[in-house]
Amino acid sequence: MRFQPTELTEGERALQREVREFLAAELPRGSYVPGLGMQAGRDRAFSRRLAERGWVGMALPRRYGGGDRTAVERFVVVEELLRWGAPVGHHWVADRQTGPVINRFGTETQKQRFLPPICRGELAFSIGMSEPNSGSDLASVQARATRTGGGWLLNGTKIWTSGAHVNDWFIVLCRTSDEADRHEGLSQLLVDLRSEGMQVNPIPFLDGTEHFNEVVLHDVFVPDDLVLGGVGMGWAQNTSELAHERGGPDRWLSTYVVVEQFLREHAGEPLGPRAEELLGEAVARWWGLRQLSLSVARQIDRGEAPSAESALVKEMGTRFEQDVLAAVQRLVDLEPSPDTESLFEGLLVRSVLTAPSFTIRGGTNEVLRSVAARGLDR
């Protein structure tokens, strides 16, 4: 396992300043309720404005509307958006993983059809991996597509599908044939969330919100040209897609706004030694995690595939997101109330009620440890 130290170039720092100025102007403090990292609100207009600046799909090729920018440049933009608590929910999944996966594995027609609207911040994607009986063990998915004239008939149930009720498309991992090796015979299909035969049932989340869904697919027709990459290539493509989900700033910034708001509300008064020590510890760890995470982005730009490294960082970062939240709670004498009018308390309540998901979503920490452990003898 190798992490090369790196720092931002002059050009990357200029981009950082540009994003900071944009956010200060477009989303001044006090004009919005900050989101908790990637769980932030959906705002189509905001996504479009970001896209106009070239900050959605920025690492995708220019000929499809992208910016031909690097993974590190995307890192710079994303870390600023997340720490600001900006409403990135609408374009988040498409920008982070669906766009790159279509770009890598999709046909020319698929790229021309999907990438430009992704880069314009218009097209929103959900993730169609988990099923009621397939969580960490994704090779056991039971959703199945069978041949029909000109395409496939898709049946099955996907679950924990964030945003399926409002998003446009999702990529469904499903079985297209039975093979001796269960990692074969899987495919990824691009499916319109408004297709006929689709039923989206909301599942109330722990914090009372309804972004979680069960998606039931009944004889949903998927034409041949919406099979992503090749038939039977689903496992390899899906694994690659997961690697895009891991190791970025979204895996260690989910509770950052809580700490910043704590500090803001205590401005001008002494914090006391206990709070200062905890703040020092948190800042040191954010600083260290950021260096690791940035190093992963550089590796991607060198054309490497840092999957074990990403898993290692995500496992560490998501635990820290929970630890720092617990530390803040121990500092304040407060009975957190969901009907509070205080911004700090509101952020605290939402964080507490969603924090257990940090170490589950995008690969449980148990799975991540196995992935990371396999990379340790390298």
Partner 1 sequence: MTDALLVELADQVLGATCTHEAIQAAERDGWAPGVWARAAEAGLHRVALEEGGTLADALAVLRAAGRHAAPIPLAETGLLAGWLLAGAGLPVGDGPLTVVPGRPGDRLALSGDRLAGVAHRVPWARSAGRVVALVASDGGWLVAAAPAESISLERRVNLAGEPRDTVRFDGPVEVAAAAPGVDPEALRHRGALTRVVLMAGALERMSRMTVGYTSERVQFGRPVARFQAVQRHLVDGAQDAVLVGMAADAAVRAAEGGQARFEIAAAKLLANQAAFTATRAAHQAHGAMGMTREYPLHHLSRRLWAWRSEYGDEAFWSARLGAAVARAGADRLYPAIAGGSSVVDV
Residue 369: which residues within 8 A CB-CB, separation 6 or more?
A: 311, 315
Judged by CB under 8 A, the chain residues 74 through 103 that form the site for partner 1 are: 79, 83
Closest CA relative to residue 228, chosen from 108, 130, 314: 108
Question: For the chain, how far is it from start to end, CA to CA, in angstroms?
Answer: 5
> Residue written as tokens 């993730």?
127
25 contributes a contact to partner 1 by CB under 8 A? no
Among 10, 30, 303, 376, binds partner 1 (CB under 8 A): 376
Computed from CA positions of residues 350, 352, 354, 359, in that sequence, does the dihedral angle turn out positive or negative?
positive
271 contributes a contact to partner 1 by CB under 8 A? yes
Q: Give the three-class secondary structure for 31.
A: coil
Strand ranges inside the chain, DSSP E? 125-128, 144-148, 151-159, 169-175, 186-192, 198-203, 212-223, 227-228
Q: How far is the CB of 21 from partner 1 (least distance, A)?
A: 13
Question: 190 - beta bridge partners?
Answer: 171
**Cα distance between residue 221 and residue 8, in whole Å:** 47
Q: What's the full length of the chain, in residues?
A: 378
206 contributes a contact to partner 1 by CB under 8 A? no
Largest CA distance in the chain: 72
Contact (Cβ atoms closer than 8 angstroms) between residue 85 and residue 40: yes
11 contributes a contact to partner 1 by CB under 8 A? no
267 contributes a contact to partner 1 by CB under 8 A? yes
Closest CA relative to residue 128, chosen from 255, 249, 220: 220
Among 14, 203, 263, 326, binds partner 1 (CB under 8 A): 263
143 contributes a contact to partner 1 by CB under 8 A? no
264 contributes a contact to partner 1 by CB under 8 A? yes
> Which residue's CB is nearer to partner 1, number 199 or number 370?
370
Q: How far is the CB of 2 from partner 1 (least distance, A)?
A: 9
Among 193, 200, 312, 347, binds partner 1 (CB under 8 A): 312
Site string for partner 1, 207-236 (x = CB under 8 A): ------------------------------
281 contributes a contact to partner 1 by CB under 8 A? yes
**Cα distance between residue 345 and residue 375, in whole Å:** 41
Among 51, 77, 279, 325, binds partner 1 (CB under 8 A): 279
**Cα distance between residue 351 and residue 328, in whole Å:** 11
Site string for partner 1, 319-358 (x = CB under 8 A): ----------------------------------------
275 contributes a contact to partner 1 by CB under 8 A? yes
146 contributes a contact to partner 1 by CB under 8 A? no
Among 22, 105, 114, 286, binds partner 1 (CB under 8 A): 286
369 contributes a contact to partner 1 by CB under 8 A? yes
304 contributes a contact to partner 1 by CB under 8 A? no
Write the burial class of residue 11 (CB in 10 Å: 0-12 exposed, 13-18 middle, 19+ buried). exposed
Binding site for partner 1 (CB under 8 A): 1, 3, 5, 7, 16, 79, 83, 256, 259-261, 263-264, 267, 271, 273, 275-281, 283-292, 295, 312, 315-316, 366, 369-370, 372-373, 376-377
